[in-house]
Amino acid sequence: MKHLTVGTAGHVDHGKTALIKSLTGFDCDTHKAEKERGVTINLGFTHLTLPSGNIVGIVDVPGHKEFIHTMANGAIGIDIALLVIAANEGVMPQTREHINIMSMLGLTRGFTVLTKIDTVDSSRLRDVEVQVRQYVDTTFLKASPIVNISSVTGEGLEALLSELDLFAQNIPERPNNGPFRMFIDRIFSKPGFGTIVTGSALNGKLTSGGTVFLLPQNSADVTVKGIERFGKHVESISAGDRTAINLSGVRTRNIQRGMVVADRLQRSTAMIDVKVSLLRDVPFLRSQSDVMFYAGGYGLKTKVHILHGALLCSGENGFAQIHLPSPCVLRHGDSFIVRDSSGDRTLGGGTILDAHPLHHKKQRGSVVSDLTDIDSKGISELIAQNLKRRSTVATLQDIADKLNFSKEELLPIVKNELPSDIHLHDTAKELVMLSETTADALMGAIIEHISLFHKTHPFENRGLTEREIANGLAIDRISEEGRLWVVRHLLTILDASGQAQNINGTWTIPRLLKTHHHTLDPKAAAVDKFLEDRGNELKLPTKPEWTALKKHINISDKDLKQILHFLHSNNSTHKTADGFYLHVNVVDRVRNQLVDALKNTKEGITVADFRDIIHGNRKTCLAMLEIFDAEGTTIREGDYRFLATRGIETKQGEGDCYADI
């Protein structure tokens, strides 16, 4: 079964309500005032079963000019428009105004119903048919059928049903994969049930028993007790349905017409960028004019700030920013109308391009250019511009929440329609996106981060790992996998341009490596010479000697640790388990002496024997033997060391462990 709503339009007393009653048997004028005045004042609702079995909701709107605002609210969510024109009067002022409103609200489908044909003769009927055809062919109903009917005699009703059924079969259903959104147009309480609200579901799907939010107030703890569609209880409703929802957890006095029933929190806005079109019978609209703004279920008095020039002239369209006096829940693609400040005359309407824009304090060509792109390219351009405004990375969920869409709605657009300057990657957990501007800023931050590491660790022969870089960047609200992809992606770009380089699994800045790693810093050279001098004396430096060295070359304890770590990383020194540093040149020389001595004895040598060979003290000998045991030059058995196979083959300067810096 399709989820569609049919709505009437037309001048007062042209037979809209009578037409619906003749089709459905239901009189939509249910209020006492409507009976007394003989005109529709409030929105009326019923449903109709078509010959194909499809059931459509029907909205009956008031035709009197005093209730145009009610008509505008009722037109929200209509899929098929029935323009009702009485044969005895023809096209009248509200005929034109209603069709203008429906056009501005984005309706594109419908046909004309010529009523009261029993009140005119055949000549008059032919004349009015010509007049009506000439008029409707200037509207979105161009080339659509005109069906003649009489609600009194029933003539033409069968043809009307067939035409309506054909339209319903050919209209695609609204997608229901977005957030559920329904503007409330009626609120009442029913004994035994409590609070009931009605409206037309614009987006998404809602299931009975779930939690809902009343927006923009964000009312919490409201649940759906039951749902009715066409007077019957149903488990769920979808976009396009006319429905009544029984709510618990909220009183009727706390609900207002125009509020939104939503299945999740959605962002409200008090400022929107729009494309607005002026009707041809309106002379002009001056910037900063007071107007009545109608969108969804909202009717608000506000000002229109035109973004190019001082005014719009008759029939023109342009871009404007509207500042709303109270928050509304709107999104890209929503339609609106504007009427004069007294609400007596429709001026025009249009489409919301950006429901969460920046504040445009001045008229700028760049703003108009951006809105022109959104108008022509659609939501893919809006997503791209939102990404360009951000200074950091965004996920698909971030963008969906910002724009009041769902990830399911945006995913095919993001994957297939975004411009080439948007970087994106679909991880196992999320889809990550960033603009070229953000990528440039983050690459600058990466270079600065690595440069700072080099500056604070001038004697390190390494850079930063991808994870260290990721932890140092302001990339929030995405997974670790997403952060690492961003860093790898940007490092690949930096590597290709020669701005960063991967050396031994860490990322460095090549120009800084030339300064810090290919030649020794003077202070590092001083420490290197100090260790070699002490090693040649076969002594380990004492604490007072280290203190004197630090004072002599003006370095701190932290600087000394960095230099020693740098020298050790560059194989300029050996470090023992006890934290002693021995210069590689000294160790190489002593190793050769030890190997020669061990080649000439099968009994091995003791620490005392080794001390006699190199003429060093016991502490230095133990430190060196620890190194030779660890590297596999010697094998220890009790108090004796023996030459290992590697010791026989190793010569000074050979092997990875002993490379010169």
Report the run of H or E that residue 318 belongs to, with start and end: strand 317-328
Kindly indicate the confidence band of residue 38, based on its pLDDT and cuts at 50, 70 and 90: very low
Arithmetic mean of pLDDT, 373-381: 96
Please tell me the distance from the alpha carbon of residue 332 to that of residue 353, in angstroms, as a whole number. Answer: 5
Please tell me the distance from the alpha carbon of residue 197 to that of residue 188, in angstroms, as a whole number. Answer: 7
pLDDT number for residue 1? 64
pLDDT number for residue 528? 87
DSSP assigned state of 540? P
Q: How far is CA 611 from CA 33, 510, 614, 641, 644, in A?
A: 117, 45, 6, 13, 20
pLDDT number for residue 513? 61
Kindly indicate the confidence band of residue 75, based on its pLDDT and cuts at 50, 70 and 90: low
Q: What is the CATH number of the domain that holds 248?
A: 2.40.30.10
Specify whether 163 is located in the same domain as 36: yes
pLDDT number for residue 71? 56
Lowest-confidence segment of 51-60, 77-86, 500-509 by average pLDDT: 51-60
User: Which residue type is seen at 289?
Assistant: S
- Is residue 176 in a domain? no
pLDDT above 60: residue 550: yes
pLDDT number for residue 36? 40
DSSP assigned state of 118? G
Kindly indicate the confidence band of residue 72, based on its pLDDT and cuts at 50, 70 and 90: low
**Domain finish residue from 246, 262, 278:** 262
Query: Between 398 and 343, whose confidence is greater?
Result: 398
Arithmetic mean of pLDDT, 204-225: 89
Arithmetic mean of pLDDT, 502-516: 76
Lowest-confidence segment of 34-48, 244-258, 367-381 by average pLDDT: 34-48
User: Which residue type is seen at 158?
Assistant: E
Q: What is the CATH number of the domain that holds 620?
A: 1.10.10.10
Q: Which of 472, 407, 395 is nearest to 434 (CA)?
A: 395
Arithmetic mean of pLDDT, 2-26: 84
- Is residue 106 in a domain? yes
pLDDT above 70: residue 648: no
- Is residue 142 in a domain? yes
Arithmetic mean of pLDDT, 586-607: 89
Please tell me the distance from the alpha carbon of residue 45 to that of residue 63, in angstroms, as a whole number. Answer: 15
Inter-residue contact 502 to 495 (CB < 8 Å):
yes
pLDDT above 50: residue 30: no
Inter-residue contact 438 to 393 (CB < 8 Å):
yes
- Is residue 190 in a domain? yes
Specify whether 594 is located in the same domain as 623: yes
58-72, 342-356, 518-532: which is most confident: 342-356
Query: Between 416 and 655, whose confidence is greater?
Result: 416
Q: Which of 574, 589, 566, 561 is nearest to 531 (CA)?
A: 574
pLDDT above 70: residue 193: yes
Inter-residue contact 424 to 482 (CB < 8 Å):
no
Lowest-confidence segment of 425-439, 446-460, 616-630 by average pLDDT: 446-460
Specify whether 257 is located in the same domain as 273: no
- Is residue 175 in a domain? no
pLDDT above 70: residue 86: yes
Specify whether 411 is located in the same domain as 508: yes
Specify whether 281 is located in the same domain as 319: yes
**Domain finish residue from 239, 262, 285:** 262
Tell me which residue range forms the domain holding 193. 181-262
pLDDT digits (tens, 9 = 90+) for 269-284: 999 999 999 999 899 9
Specify whether 467 is located in the same domain as 577: no
136-140, 388-392, 536-540: which is most confident: 136-140
Specify whether 113 is located in the same domain as 64: yes
CA angle centred on 12, ends 6 and 17, rounded to 5°: 45
CA atoms within 13 A on the CB side of 33: 4
pLDDT digits (tens, 9 = 90+) for 254-270: 998 889 999 999 999 99
- Is residue 359 in a domain? yes
Specify whether 468 is located in the same domain as 591: no
Kindly indicate the confidence band of residue 10, based on its pLDDT and cuts at 50, 70 and 90: confident
Predicted TM-score (pTM) of this structure: 0.75
Kindly indicate the confidence band of residue 521, based on its pLDDT and cuts at 50, 70 and 90: confident
Q: Classify residue 221 as exposed, middle or buried by CB count within 10 Å of its CB (0-12, 13-18, 19+).
A: exposed
pLDDT number for residue 652? 41
Q: Which of 72, 142, 138, 140 is nearest to 108 (CA)?
A: 140
pLDDT digits (tens, 9 = 90+) for 125-181: 999 999 999 999 999 999 999 999 999 999 999 999 999 999 989 888 888 888 999
Query: Between 580 and 488, whose confidence is greater?
Result: 488
Inter-residue contact 107 to 140 (CB < 8 Å):
yes
Specify whether 392 is located in the same domain as 368: no
Kindly indicate the confidence band of residue 656, based on its pLDDT and cuts at 50, 70 and 90: very low
Inter-residue contact 128 to 120 (CB < 8 Å):
yes
Q: What is the CATH number of the domain that holds 44?
A: 3.40.50.300
pLDDT number for residue 255? 92
Please tell me the distance from the alpha carbon of residue 31 to that of residue 39, in angstroms, as a whole number. Answer: 10
pLDDT number for residue 232? 87
Domain total in the chain: 5
- Is residue 360 in a domain? yes
pLDDT digits (tens, 9 = 90+) for 553-563: 998 888 888 88
Specify whether 500 is located in the same domain as 544: no
Report the run of H or E that residue 456 belongs to, with start and end: helix 436-456
Specify whether 148 is located in the same domain as 17: yes
pLDDT number for residue 61? 67
Q: What are the two backbone dihedrals, phi and then psi, of residue 341, each rounded to the nearest 5 degrees?
A: -60, -25
- Is residue 126 in a domain? yes
Tell me the DSSP string of 72-117.
HHHTTT-SEEEEEEETTT-S-HHHHHHHHHHHHTT---EEEEEE-G
**The two three-digit tokens of residue 323, written as one number:** 């500042």
Q: What is the 3-state secondary structure (H, E, C) of 4-38?
A: CEEEEECCCCCCHHHHHHHHHCCCCCCCHHHHHHC
User: Which residue type is seen at 267?
Assistant: R
pLDDT cut 70: percent of the chain above it: 90
pLDDT digits (tens, 9 = 90+) for 407-445: 999 999 999 999 999 999 998 889 999 999 999 999 999
Q: What is the 3-state secondary structure (H, E, C) of 243-309?
A: EEEEEECCCHHHCCCCCEEECCCCCCEEEEEEEEEECCCCCEEECCEEEEEEECCEEEEEEEEECCC
Specify whether 280 is located in the same domain as 314: yes
Inter-residue contact 57 to 241 (CB < 8 Å):
yes
| Number of other CB atoms surrounding residue 159 within 10 Å | 13
**Domain finish residue from 228, 262, 296:** 262
